[in-house]
Each structure stands twice: as structure tokens, then as C-alpha cells.
Amino acid sequence: MVCGESPQRGEVYPIETLRPSHGPGEASITPGARLVNAHDFMTAELLAALIAVESGGDDLARGRHGELGALQVRPCVVKDVNRIAGTHYRWAEMTNRWAAVGVFRIYTGHYCATGRLGRAVTDQDRARIWHGGPNGWKRRQTLVYWKRVQVQIMQARMGAS
């Protein structure tokens, strides 16, 4: 794939994977060796932006309402993911970026389904559901959050060019 070229759905490309940070402001993506489909390619970019917005890249971040880790995972989200997928994540594990990303993927994979939304799923849907819960894609107040995520995506793209 050439820089700036959009991947086609279903094609497989090497992508960038999230690198755990060592402190605030260090959310980033770095080259990785994994191969994923084009759908996941866009999600890697989204994940980096969400991490920047949620915690500034701080894996140890704690929110005012019980959120934890780089993605600011709430205990109710961990409980929901364990119910949905039969997993055994613990909220205390959310300081581990890979565990938090796993929870994100299961949660958004479940609630961001074409059949559920009645149309193709977008990164906007994923961000708004992550921030606002299963029906966050419908909530007007999650639009402000999405704008913040978009700014991070655009800054990352400008920095990459």
C-alpha cells in the first residue's frame, strides 16, 4: 500500500500497532508486524486517537468516575464484555494496554454491528459508543467527544506526512 492510499475492505496489510506509553502525552502508534484486514487498519488509527483523548497516553490514568487506564475503561464495561464474550477480564487489568484494547475490541465489536445500527459502521460510531455506551451513537452529547477524537486523527495524519 502506498502512503495516503486507502485500503480496500477485506484486503490484508501490515499495520501499525499501539505501543504502550510511559507517561502522559505519549499515546502513539509504531510499526508492527501483525497483518490484519482493512477494517482493523482504520481501528488502529482510531485507537491511537481515543487513547490520546481519554488519557493522553497514560496507562495508569484514573478517572473521576472509576475509569482506568489508557482507554479509561469503566468497571461496568469490563463486566459487560465478560458477559458478552465469556472472558475473565478484571477492571484492575485495564492499566495493561493490551487488555484494555481487547476490552475495547469486544465492546465495540458487539455494539457496533451493522445489523444493530442499520447501516455500515464507522469510526465515529465506535468512538461515540465507546464514550456514551451502547446507544452513544444516537446521543447528541457524544458529538463533542467525536470532534475531539477527529482532531487527534487529523493531527496524527499531518504528523505522518
Question: What does the buried/exposed string (b/e) look like for 55-88 if buried means 16 or more CB atoms within 10 Å of the residue's CB?
Answer: bebbbebeeeeebbbbbbbbeebbebbeeebeee
- pTM, two decimals, is 0.75
Write down the pLDDT at residue 41: 52
| pLDDT at res. 13 | 33
Cβ–Cβ under 8 Å, residues 85 and 97: no
State which fold the 12-160 domain adopts. Answer: Lysozyme (1.10.530)
Block means of pLDDT (10 residues each) for the chain, length 161 residues? 33 37 40 42 83 97 96 98 97 97 95 93 96 95 96 89 64
pLDDT the model gives residue 159: 83
User: Which pairs with CB-CB distance under 8 Å and at least 24 residues apart come from 100-103?
Assistant: 100/59, 100/69, 100/70, 100/71, 100/73, 101/18, 101/47, 101/71, 103/71, 103/73, 103/77, 103/78
Q: What is the predicted pLDDT for the residue at 5?
A: 33
Which sequence spans correspond to the domains of the chain? 12-160
